[in-house]
């Protein structure tokens, strides 16, 4: 299993306060984690899971989405041409590719690459008031799962996938 730390939001603990989105905005100008409201009024931050076998990488014809040596899924803005087909947005099972009005008109989480280079951790996890955002190796994230958190993920995914 990968040794790279990734993000995981415990939707059962999240209170929808939007701190993650706003500190991401402060750190990265365009936020890469977004608060969505489900039909039943749940506030849920959508974010990149840095999948082991990412669909977004497969569908991008420009090869602009790559997986780096650590398993972090990165958008290469030099290759992305902000194409109209928006296949990466459609392919993401977590609705975590965000259309913007800046640059290549696409934003995605790079686990705060610039911060990691400076020895810091992703801003959203650092500042979450509830501690709902974990940044840890997959094994630790797996151990932190509870029946409540798994049920909450199911509710969120059902919303994203329109069921």
Partner 1 sequence: MRGMNFNFLCGEPPRPNGRNVGIIGAGPSGLAAAGLLSCQGYQVEVYDKLPKPGGLMLFGIPGHRIPKERIETGTRRMAKRYGVIYHTRTKVCCSAPLHEEEGDHFCADMRGLADLLEKHEAIIICSGSWKSRRLGIPGESLPGVYAGIQFLFPIRAVQYTAPNVKVPDVVGKRVMVIGAGHSAVDVAHSALSLGAAEVCMVYRRSRKEAPCGTYEIQRLEDMGVRWRELTTPMRFLGQDTVEGVEVSEKVVDEQGAMVERTTVIPAEVVVTAIGEIATPPFAKELGLENVRRGEVRWLNMTAIENVFVAGDALSGPSKIGKAVYSGLRAARSLANWLDLKAQNRQHEFTGDLMARSPEPTGSHGAV
147 binds partner 1 (CB under 8 A): no
Round to whole Å and give the CA distance between 106 and 131.
28
CB nearer to partner 1: pick between 14 and 88: 14
Q: How far is the CB of 147 from partner 1 (least distance, A)?
A: 16
Contacting partner 1 within 18-37 (CB under 8 A): 18-23, 25-27, 35, 37
Distance of CA 142 to the CA centre of its chain: 17
Part of the chain binding partner 1 (CB under 8 A), chosen from 1-9, 14-22, 55-63, 73-81: 14-22
- Candidates 12, 42, 57, 141; binder of partner 1 (CB under 8 A) is 42
Angle at 29 between CA 40 and CA 22, to 5 degrees: 40
Closest CA to 9 of 82, 94, 74, 88: 94
Name the residue with tokens 């990165």: 74
Helix (H) or strand (E) holding 156: helix 147-160
CB nearer to partner 1: pick between 64 and 133: 133
Q: Looking at the chain, how many residues does it have? A: 163
Contacting partner 1 within 94-133 (CB under 8 A): 118-121, 123, 126-131
Closest CA to 49 of 26, 18, 72, 75: 72
CB nearer to partner 1: pick between 78 and 147: 147
- Candidates 1, 3, 40, 84; binder of partner 1 (CB under 8 A) is 40
Tokens of 137: 């190796």
15 binds partner 1 (CB under 8 A): yes
Is residue 93 within 8 A of residue 153, CB to CB? The reply is no
**Total residues at interface with partner 1 (CB under 8 A):** 32
The contact set with partner 1 (CB under 8 A) reads: 15-23, 25-27, 35, 37-43, 118-121, 123, 126-131, 155
């Amino acid at each position: 299993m990968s040794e790279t730390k990734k993000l995981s939001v415990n939707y059962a603990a999240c209170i929808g306060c939007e701190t993650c989105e706003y500190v991401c905005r402060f750190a990265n100008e365009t936020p890469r984690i977004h608060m969505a409201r489900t039909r039943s009024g749940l506030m849920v931050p959508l974010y990149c899971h840095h999948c082991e076998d990412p669909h977004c990488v497969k569908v991008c014809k420009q090869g602009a989405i790559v997986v780096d040596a650590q398993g972090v899924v990165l958008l290469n803005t030099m290759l992305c041409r902000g194409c109209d087909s928006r296949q990466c947005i459609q392919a993401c099972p977590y609705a975590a590719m965000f259309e913007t009005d800046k640059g290549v008109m696409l934003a995605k989480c790079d686990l705060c690459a610039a911060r990691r280079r400076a020895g810091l951790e992703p801003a959203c996890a650092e500042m979450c008031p509830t501690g709902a955002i974990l940044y840890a190796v997959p094994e630790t994230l797996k151990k932190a799962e509870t029946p409540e958190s798994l049920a909450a993920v199911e509710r969120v995914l059902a919303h994203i996938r329109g069921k």
